[in-house]
């Protein structure tokens, strides 16, 4: 479906208003069983005074919540009161470097700040990537150890969240995993020093104490946005996209510390969750931002990923490119890797070559298990300026179903399972959309089985395109 290439400007413009709206206008019928809160995180302020941010990921974090009750939808949005947000807006100066924008400080000032941050573990707290829940604490996350707790009922900021342990690490993954069998949360803390330590840890239910499963030692600080788990393994993605720790020490913006080591291989680091034993299996170079799912089949690990080719995909996400009439967009394809644990052999097939990202599954039912359906954002043709569709892909048959709507750009599709549903795809997809005609946003609700829209809840304002969201049941 072709889309008029107009009206896209607000997709990356600041939304300064914090609002609370009851009973949104809804077309269609919201399922009565859909009860709870859909919380999405993402950048929403792209300048401080006269300092205009360079990159999509620079924007200050805003939490957006759609609440569902008895077929009605309400909405609330609030900025996350990080130190970066509060100090910058109070002083009128960018307090510290953003992802790709320099703060208004001297080289010496940046050096002092970066050394102090690396020493005390407080690098950067603009937690605009994701949210999670740990022992009834709701957390906003970025790729550092500086995570922030907020209240679900009104999205107000509580403050920095502290674990009840002394696990070290300045960097982290913003995509923790839940083991659906044990209830354990699994994530990674990255300790930057003379050598690099990737601490893989677990948190048992109702606890905020991290317990290290294993520590992987690396000479290079390889960049890793997400990872995979199965019943018995944690799988890290070691790509040639590396962080130059000396540039990090010098206080450069994070994206300026990333380098692509051409002609270097990628590797899968496979860590046994039971005994900590580690295998490293090389493959052709690629970058994975988002894991889809993984599971075991005898001696094999089946691993589905959204993969990018050579280079740093974040370089495509500068605002100067995204706001241009014909932006160059990163190209992610859906791959399936099959890894033989014993022989250390691996290969892959391309499941879908469409340009796609932001994969979601029926997570709480099939994460780490053999499964059937993937939902991703899709770019359907070269004339699009961003993701304009949602794809449902059947990994067993190759069947594709798509949802798209004229003049809409569509965010990450979050799957919400119907209570006591009998099928993997028995549920709804929630996605925040931006209408280029009226320059406003809405929430589209799709039947995940048919991929047909069942309802749409309309906002009177625009929301800048966001990143990741999750559904929290009442």
**What is the rounded distance in angstroms from the CA atom of residue 158 to the CA atom of residue 151?**
7
**Strand order in 233-238's β-sheet?**
228-229, 233-238, 266-272, 278-283
Q: Report how far residue 414's alpha carbon sits from residue 138's, in angstroms, rounded to the nearest whole number.
A: 18
CA 213, chain centre distance (Å): 23
List pLDDT tens digits, range 342-401: 999 999 999 999 999 999 999 999 999 999 999 999 999 877 889 999 999 999 999 999
Q: Give me the residue label for tokens 């999205």.
A: 155
CA 142/CA 131 separation, integer angstroms: 9
* 469, pLDDT greater than 80: yes
Using pLDDT thresholds of 50, 70 and 90, give the confidence band for residue 2: very low
Tokens 């241009």: give the residue.
Answer: 324
Write 147-152 long-range contacts (CB < 8 A, 24+).
147/172, 148/80, 148/82, 150/63, 150/80, 152/37, 152/39, 152/65, 152/472
User: Could you write out the three-class secondary structure of 342-370?
Assistant: CCCEEEEEEEECCEEEEEECCHHHHCCCC
**Which residues are 473's β-sheet partners?**
36
**Close Cβ partners of 108 (under 8 Å, ≥ 6 residues apart):** none
With contact defined as beta carbons under 8 Å apart, do 226 and 290 qualify? Answer: yes
Phi, psi of 107 (to 5 degrees): -60, -40
Judge whether 141 and 130 are in contact, CB under 8 Å.
yes
Rounded Cα distance, 250 and 445, in Å: 46
User: pLDDT category, 1, cuts 50, 70, 90?
Assistant: very low
pLDDT of 382: 75
> Confidence class of residue 250 from pLDDT cuts 50, 70 and 90?
confident
pLDDT of residue 64: 99
Q: For residue range 73-113, list pLDDT tens digits in order.
A: 999 999 999 999 999 999 999 999 999 999 987 666 666 66
Q: What is the CA radius of gyration of the chain?
A: 21
Q: Assess contact for 232 and 294: CB atoms under 8 A.
A: no
Whether the per-residue pLDDT at 119 is higher than 90: the answer is no
pLDDT band with cut points at 50, 70 and 90 for residue 289: very high
CA 43, CA 144: separation in Å to the nearest integer?
A: 16
| Burial class (CB within 10 angstroms; exposed 0-12, middle 13-18, buried 19+) of 418 | middle
> Mean pLDDT for the chain?
95
- What is the arithmetic mean of pLDDT over 222-236? 98
Architecture of domain 9-473: 7 Propeller (2.130)
Q: How far apart are CA 327 and CA 90, in angstroms?
A: 34
The answer to whether 467 touches 432, Cβ cutoff 8 Å, is no
Band of residue 5 on the pLDDT scale cut at 50, 70, 90: very low
Compute the distance between CA of residue 97 and CA of residue 89 in angstroms, rounded to an integer.
Answer: 14
The Cβ of residue 81 has, within 10 Å, a number of other Cβ atoms equal to: 18
Q: What is the pLDDT of residues 398-457, one digit of tens each?
A: 999 999 999 999 999 999 999 999 999 999 999 999 999 999 999 999 999 999 999 999
- Listed range (123-127, 198-202, 374-378, 443-447) with the worst mean pLDDT: 123-127
pTM of the model: 0.95
pLDDT tens digits for 316-345?
999 999 999 889 888 999 999 999 999 999
Judged against a pLDDT cut of 60, whether residue 208 lies above it is answered with yes
pLDDT at 114: 64
pLDDT at 4: 44
> What integer pLDDT is reported at residue 3 of this predicted model?
41
Average pLDDT (196-222) is 98
Nearest Cα residue to 142 out of 131, 133, 129, 155: 129
Q: Which residues are within 8 A (CB) of 422 and not within 5 positions of it... i.e. 6 or more apart?
A: none
**In the chain, % of residues over pLDDT 70:** 95
Over residues 296-316, the pLDDT tens digits come to 999 999 999 999 988 999 999
User: How big, in percent rounded to 5, are the helix, strand and coil portions of the chain?
Assistant: 10, 45, 45
pLDDT tens digits, residue range 173-182? Answer: 999 999 999 9
Q: What's residue 285's pLDDT? A: 96
Return the percentage of the chain with pLDDT > 90, whole number: 89
| pLDDT of 204 | 98
> Which H or E run contains 320?
helix 319-322
């Amino acid at each position: 479906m072709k889309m008029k290439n107009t009206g896209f400007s607000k997709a990356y413009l600041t939304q300064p208003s914090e609002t609370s709206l009851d009973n949104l206008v809804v077309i269609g019928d919201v399922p009565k069983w859909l009860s709870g809160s859909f919380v999405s995180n993402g950048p929403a302020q792209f300048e401080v005074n006269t300092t205009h941010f360079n990159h999509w990921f620079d924007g200050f974090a805003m939490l957006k919540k759609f609440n569902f009750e008895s077929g009605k939808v309400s909405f609330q949005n609030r900025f996350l009161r990080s130190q970066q947000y509060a100090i910058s807006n109070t002083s009128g100066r960018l307090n510290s470097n953003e992802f790709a924008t320099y703060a208004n400080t001297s080289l010496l000032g940046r050096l002092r700040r970066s050394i102090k941050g690396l020493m005390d573990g407080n690098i950067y707290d603009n937690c605009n990537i994701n949210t999670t829940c740990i022992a009834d604490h709701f957390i906003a996350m970025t790729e550092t150890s500086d995570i922030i707790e907020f209240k679900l009922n009104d999205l107000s900021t509580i403050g920095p969240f502290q674990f009840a342990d002394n696990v070290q690490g300045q960097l982290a993954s913003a995509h923790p995993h839940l083991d659906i069998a044990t209830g354990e949360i699994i994530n990674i803390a990255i300790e930057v020093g003379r050598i690099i330590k990737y601490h893989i840890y677990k948190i048992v239910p109702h606890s905020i104490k991290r317990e290290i499963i294993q520590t992987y030692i690396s000479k290079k600080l390889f960049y890793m946005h997400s990872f995979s788990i199965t019943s018995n393994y944690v799988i890290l993605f070691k790509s040639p996209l590396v962080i130059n720790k000396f540039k990090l020490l010098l206080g450069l913006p994070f994206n300026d510390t990333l380098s692509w080591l051409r002609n270097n291989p990628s590797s899968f680091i496979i860590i046994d969750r039971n005994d900590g034993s580690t295998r490293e299996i090389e493959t052709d170079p690629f970058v994975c931002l988002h894991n889809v799912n993984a599971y075991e089949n005898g001696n094999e690990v089946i691993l589905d990923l959204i993969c990018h080719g050579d280079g740093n995909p974040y370089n495509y996400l500068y605002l100067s490119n995204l706001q241009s009439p014909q932006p160059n967009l990163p190209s992610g394809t859906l791959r399936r890797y099959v890894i033989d644990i014993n022989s250390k052999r691996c290969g892959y097939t391309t499941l879908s070559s469409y340009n796609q990202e932001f994969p979601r599954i029926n997570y709480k039912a099939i994460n780490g298990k053999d499964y059937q359906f993937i939902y991703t954002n899709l770019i359907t043709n070269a004339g699009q300026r961003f993701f304009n569709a949602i794809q449902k892909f059947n990994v067993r048959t190759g069947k594709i179903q798509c949802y798209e709507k004229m003049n809409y750009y569509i965010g990450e599709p979050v799957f919400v399972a119907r209570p006591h549903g009998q099928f993997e795809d028995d549920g709804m997809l929630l996605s925040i959309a931006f209408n280029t005609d009226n320059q406003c946003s809405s929430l589209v609700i799709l039947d995940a089985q048919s991929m047909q829209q069942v309802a749409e809840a309309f906002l009177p304002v625009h929301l800048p395109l966001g990143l990741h969201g999750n559904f929290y049941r009442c």
